[in-house]
C-alpha cells in the first residue's frame, strides 16, 4: 500500500482507534530505534561489540577514530589480538567475572594501528547470546578518569530493545539533546543515581534541568556547551551538579555533536561521569602528601639520627642526622644491617629490641653505646617504636638516636666539680674554724680584728683560685697581695724576690695566712712599725722539690728574743707542720728572720 493511500486509509475511519494507536506507537518506537542506532554508530566514543569466542561484530566511528582501524579491518577479528589488550587481571579471571556478574569495568591498555599505546577506562556488559558490549574512554591525556565516555556502541541491530539496553547500561550519564537544546532522552543511570524522574528532566532546555539548579554559572556553562556542540565542536569540562537531595557533586562532563550521513549535526549527545569521590580522594591525597612532606622535612632536618629498619634489622631509611651522628652516608647505610653501628659487646641489645618490637612494645630513652664509622664510641639515648603497614601488621621499627656523649661528659664534669666544691668548701670551713680557734687577744675588739684579718687573707687567696680554676695560686701574687698595704708610693719598704711557684690551694692558703701574721706582727712591733724599717721576702725552689721561703726584717726597733713563744709563732709552726714543713725563727737585734721550708 502506497504511503498516501495508507494515510488516506488511516483517515477514512476504517481503522479502529486501538489499532491506530498501536500503529502510532510502533512508528514512534521505530523512530526511536533509528535515533539510538545513529547515536551508537556515529558516536565519537569508541564502542564495539564482540562475542566471548572472540570476533568483533560491531565497530563504531569512535573506535575507528581512536584506534585507527576501519570497520572492515576490525569486524571479524579478536579485539584482544587486534588491539594487543593488556588486562589488569588474568584474562581467565576477567572472563569469569563477565560470565558471573555480566559486567566488568577497569583500566585497559590498547595499541592503535599506528603503534601508539592508549589507556582507556573500559566498561563491558555481557548482553544476550554471549555478546559483549565494550565501551571505552581514552584517558591517556587526562589520566585517572574512572569511567568511559558516552555514546556506547554495540552491534547495529534493528531491535530497539537491544539499543535501549546499550543506552541504559553504558555505566555513564548519557542523554540526547535536539538542536534547540531540549533534552529528549536520558538513560536510567542519570535518573536513578541522581534521584530524578523523566518527567522532571525531559522536554525542557538542558540548562534548565534540575542537575544545574544550584548555580547560574553552571547553567551558563551548559548553555555554552550546547551551543558549541551544535556548531560541531566537542565540549568537555569538569562541572558541578546537584542531585535530588540537594548535595553538590562534580562531573566530568562532555557534549558531542552527532552527525548524520551528510555530515550535518543531527543531535547532541551529553555524557558524564561522577568524579566526586575521585576529587575527594585527590584532595585527601594532596593533604596527606603535604603532611608527609612536612614530616619528611622534620625528619630530614633533625639533629637526631632517625633510622628505620625492617624486622630483620636491615636499614631502610637514614636521615642527615644519622649521617652526622654515625658518619655513614645514606648510600652507605641503607640496605646494611643496623649492627654496623653497634659494638660487638652490645649485639644482644639489638636482639632484645627487635623482640620487643615484634611484640608491639616501644623502647623509650634507652641509654647505650654505639660505634661511629671510624670506630669511635658515643653514648646515645634510643627511642624505638614499631612501624605498622596499612593492615596494622608490624613490619619494622623506627629508631631515634640522640648523641648524649657531651651531655654525659658534662654531667660527669658537674659531678666532679660538685665533689670538688664540697671538698674545698669543707677545707675552707676547716681553715676558718682553725683560724678562729687559734686566734687570741686580750680584748674582744682585738680578737675581732685578728679573726677578720686572717679570714680576709683566706678570702684574698681564694679570689686568686678563681682565676686559675682552683688549680692554685702564684706565690709572688700572694705575697704582693698580702704586703700591698705596707708598700708606700715612692718608697721601697717591702722587697719581694723569687721564681714563679704555683702553690696548690692548701699550701697557698697557709702561706697567705702566715704572710698576713708576719706582716701584722712587723707592723705592730717590728720593721714596719717605723718609717725607715724594711722587709725583705725571698724564696727559692730547690731541686728536691722543696720551697725555701725567708722573711727578713731590718731597720726596725731593737729586737729581743721573747721569753716565751707568742701566739703568731705558734700559728705559723702549726700550719706549716700540717703541710709537713719546718719553721725557724731567728730573733736578731737588727730584726726578725723567719725561714720556712715545705714540700710543694
Q: What is the pLDDT, as a whole number, of residue 327?
A: 92
Least confident of 314-318, 325-329, 394-398, 562-566: 562-566
Q: Which long-range contacts (CB under 8 A, 24 or more apart) does 529-536 make?
A: 529/556, 529/557, 530/555, 530/556, 530/557, 533/493, 533/591, 534/492, 534/493, 534/494, 534/495, 535/483, 535/486, 535/493, 535/494, 535/495, 536/495, 536/497
pLDDT band at 144 (very low <50, low <70, confident <90, very high): very low
* Residue 421 pLDDT class (50, 70, 90 cuts): low
The verdict on 443 and 543 lying in the same domain is yes
In a domain, 26, yes or no: no
Lowest-pLDDT range of 89-103, 213-227, 454-468, 516-530 = 454-468
The pLDDT value recorded for residue 68 is 94
Q: What is the pLDDT of residues 447-478, one digit of tens each?
A: 556 566 666 666 666 666 666 566 788 888 88
Confidence of residue 428 (pLDDT cuts 50, 70, 90): low
Can you list the alpha helix ranges (DSSP code H) found in 439-566?
444-467, 475-483, 505-524
- Domain match, 217 and 71 both: no
pLDDT at 180: 93
Q: What was the pLDDT predicted at 182? A: 96
Per the listing, cell 557533586 goes with: 249
Q: What is the pTM of this model?
A: 0.36
- On whether residue 578 sits in a domain, the answer given is yes
Write down which residue in 403, 418, 443 finishes a domain.
Answer: 403
Residue range 375-409, pLDDT digits in tens = 999 999 989 999 988 888 999 998 998 888 888 78
pLDDT tens digits, residue range 52-91?
A: 877 998 999 899 999 999 999 999 999 889 999 999 989 8
Of 78, 85, 71, 73, give the one whose Cα is nearest residue 56.
78
Instruction: Please give the order of strands across the beta sheet that includes 117-126.
Output: 56-59, 47-51, 131-138, 117-126, 103-111
Q: Compute the average pLDDT of residues 114-140.
A: 89
- Cα 399 to Cα 311: distance, rounded to the nearest angstrom: 12
pLDDT above 90 as % of the chain: 38
Statement to judge: residues 340 and 440 lie in one domain: no
Query: Cα 126 to the chain's mean position, in Å?
Result: 49
- Residues with Cβ within 8 Å of 46's Cβ and at least 6 positions away in sequence, in order, are 60, 62, 63, 65, 66, 67, 120, 135, 136, 137, 138, 149, 153
**What is the pLDDT at residue 241?**
94
User: Does 163 share its domain with 197?
Assistant: no
**Domain membership flag for residue 102:** yes
All three cell numbers of 519, joined, read 706582716
Q: How many domains does the chain have?
A: 4
Residues 256 and 329 in one domain: no
Q: Is residue 416 part of a domain?
A: no
Predicted local confidence at residue 153, as pLDDT: 35
d(CA 441, CA 429): 22
Q: Are residues 194 and 234 in the same domain?
A: yes
Q: Is residue 94 part of a domain?
A: yes
Is the pLDDT reported for residue 13 higher than 50? no
| Domain stops at, among 133, 148, 168 | 168
> Which of 113-127, 167-181, 262-276, 338-352 has the least mean pLDDT?
167-181
If asked whether residues 232 and 336 sit together in one domain, one would say no
What CATH number is attached to the domain comprising 380? 3.30.450.20
Q: What is the pLDDT of residue 472?
A: 81
Q: What is the mean pLDDT of residues 152-162?
A: 43
Do 146 and 207 reside in the same domain of the chain? no
Region 493-502 average pLDDT = 90
Same domain for 466 and 592, yes or no, is yes
* Domain carrying residue 339: 302-403
Q: Grid coordinates standing for 35? A: 535515533
Identify the CA nearest to 537 among candidates 556, 553, 516, 521.
Answer: 553
CA 342, CA 323: separation in Å to the nearest integer? Answer: 15
CB contact at 8 A, 149 and 171: no
pLDDT in tens, 339-363: 999 999 998 988 898 899 999 999 8
| Domain identity same for 182 and 273 | yes
Residues 489 and 593 grouped into a single domain: yes
- Among 54-63, 197-206, 286-295, 511-520, which stretch is predicted with the lowest mean pLDDT? 286-295
Cβ-proximal residues to 89 (8 Å cutoff; 6+ apart), any chain:
106
Q: What is the pLDDT of residue 242?
A: 95
Q: Which residues contact 520 (CB under 8 A, 6 or more apart)?
A: 453, 568
Q: Are 506 and 471 in contact (CB under 8 A)?
A: no
Task: Provide the β-strand partners of residue 401.
Answer: 305, 382
- Whether the Cβ atoms of residue 152 and residue 167 lie closer than 8 Å to each other: yes
Last residue of a domain, one of 153, 168, 183: 168
Average pLDDT over residues 426-449: 57
Residue 148: pLDDT band (50, 70, 90) is: very low
Instruction: Give the CATH number, domain containing residue 541.
Output: 3.30.565.10
Q: Which three cell numbers stand for residue 90?
A: 588474568
Whether residues 439 and 571 fall in one domain: yes
Q: Classify residue 297: in a domain, yes or no.
A: no
Per-residue confidence band for 158, with pLDDT thresholds at 50, 70 and 90: very low
Residue 30 placed within a domain = no
Question: Per the domain annotation, does 32 fall within a domain?
Answer: no
pLDDT at 152: 37
Amino acid at each position: 500500500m502506497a504511503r498516501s493511500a495508507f494515510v488516506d486509509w488511516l483517515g477514512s475511519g476504517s481503522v479502529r482507534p486501538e489499532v491506530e494507536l498501536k500503529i502510532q506507537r510502533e512508528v514512534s518506537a521505530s523512530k526511536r530505534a533509528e535515533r539510538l542506532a545513529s547515536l551508537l554508530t556515529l558516536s565519537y566514543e569508541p564502542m564495539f561489540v564482540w562475542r566471548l569466542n572472540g570476533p568483533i561484530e560491531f565497530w563504531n566511528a569512535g573506535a575507528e577514530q581512536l584506534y585507527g582501524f576501519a570497520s572492515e579491518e576490525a569486524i571479524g577479528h579478536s579485539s584482544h589480538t587486534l588491539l594487543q589488550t593488556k588486562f589488569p587481571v588474568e584474562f581467565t579471571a576477567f572472563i569469569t567475572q563477565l560470565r558471573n556478574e555480566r559486567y566488568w569495568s577497569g583500566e585497559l591498555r590498547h595499541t592503535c594501528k599506528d603503534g601508539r599505546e592508549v589507556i582507556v577506562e573500559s566498561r563491558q556488559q555481557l548482553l544476550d547470546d554471549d555478546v559483549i558490549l565494550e565501551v571505552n574512554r581514552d584517558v591517556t591525556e587526562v589520566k585517572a578518569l574512572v569511567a568511559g565516555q558516552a555514546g556506547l556502541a554495540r552491534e547495529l541491530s534493528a531491535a530497539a530493545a537491544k539499543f535501549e539496553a546499550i543506552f541504559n547500561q553504558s555505566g555513564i550519564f548519557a542523554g540526547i539533546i535536539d538542536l534547540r537544546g531540549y533534552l529528549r532522552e536520558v538513560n536510567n543511570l542519570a535518573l536513578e543515581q541522581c534521584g530524578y524522574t523523566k518527567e522532571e528532566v525531559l522536554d525542557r532546555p538542558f540548562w534548565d534541568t534540575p542537575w544545574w539548579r544550584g548555580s547560574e554559572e553552571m547553567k551558563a556553562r551548559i548553555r555554552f556547551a550546547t551551543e558549541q556542540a551544535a556548531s560541531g565542536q566537542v565540549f568537555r569540562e569538569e562541572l558541578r551538579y546537584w542531585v535530588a537531595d540537594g548535595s553538590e557533586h562534580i562531573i566530568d562532563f562532555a557534549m558531542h555533536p552527532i552527525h548524520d550521513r551528510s555530515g550535518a549535526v543531527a543531535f547532541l549527545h551529553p555524557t558524564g561521569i561522577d568524579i566526586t569521590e575521585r576529587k575527594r580522594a585527590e584532595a585527601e591525597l594532596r593533604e596527606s602528601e603535604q603532611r608527609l612532606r612536612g614530616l619528611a622535612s622534620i625528619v630530614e632536618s633533625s639533629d637526631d639520627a632517625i633510622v628505620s629498619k625492617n624486622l630483620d634489622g636491615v636499614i631502610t631509611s637514614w636521615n642527615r642526622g644519622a649521617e652526622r651522628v654515625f658518619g655513614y652516608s645514606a648510600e652507605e647505610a641503607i640496605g646494611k644491617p643496623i649492627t654496623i653501628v653497634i659494638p660487638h659487646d652490645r649485639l644482644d641489645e639489638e636482639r632484645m629490641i627487635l623482640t620487643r618490637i615484634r611484640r608491639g612494645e616501644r623502647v623509650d630513652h634507652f641509654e647505650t653505646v654505639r660505634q661511629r664509622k671510624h670506630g669511635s664510641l658515643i653514648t646515645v639515648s634510643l627511642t624505638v617504636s614499631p612501624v605498622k603497614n596499612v593492615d596494622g601488621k608490624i613490619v619494622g621499627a623506627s629508631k631515634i638516636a640522640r648523641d648524649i656523649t657531651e651531655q654525659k661528659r658534662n654531667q660527669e664534669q658537674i659531678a666532679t666539680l660538685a665533689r670538688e666544691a664540697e671538698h674545698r668548701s669543707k677545707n675552707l670551713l676547716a681553715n676558718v674554724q682553725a683560724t678562729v680557734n687559734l686566734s687570741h687577744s686580750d680584748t674582744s675588739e682585738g680578737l675581732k680584728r685578728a679573726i677578720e684579718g686572717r679570714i680576709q687573707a683566706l678570702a684574698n687567696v681564694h679570689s686568686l683560685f678563681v682565676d686559675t680554676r682552683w688549680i692554685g695560686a702564684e706565690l709572688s701574687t700572694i705575697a704582693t697581695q698580702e704586703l700591698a698595704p705596707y708598700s708606700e708610693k715612692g718608697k721601697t719598704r717591702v722587697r719581694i724576690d723569687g721564681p714563679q711557684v704555683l702553690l696548690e690551694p692548701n699550701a697557698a692558703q697557709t702561706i697567705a695566712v702566715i704572710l698576713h701574721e708576719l706582716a701584722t706582727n712587723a707592723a705592730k712591733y717590728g720593721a714596719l712599725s717605723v718609717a725607715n724599717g724594711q722587709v725583705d721576702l725571698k724564696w727559692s725552689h730547690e731541686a728536691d722539690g722543696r720551697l725555701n721561703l725567708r722573711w727578713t726584717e731590718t731597720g726596725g726597733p731593737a729586737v729581743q728574743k721573747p721569753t716565751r713563744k707568742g701566739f703568731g709563732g705558734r700559728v705559723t709552726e702549726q700550719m706549716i707542720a700540717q703541710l709537713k714543713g719546718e719553721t725557724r725563727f731567728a730573733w736578731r737585734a737588727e730584726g726578725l728572720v723567719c725561714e720556712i721550708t715545705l714540700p710543694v
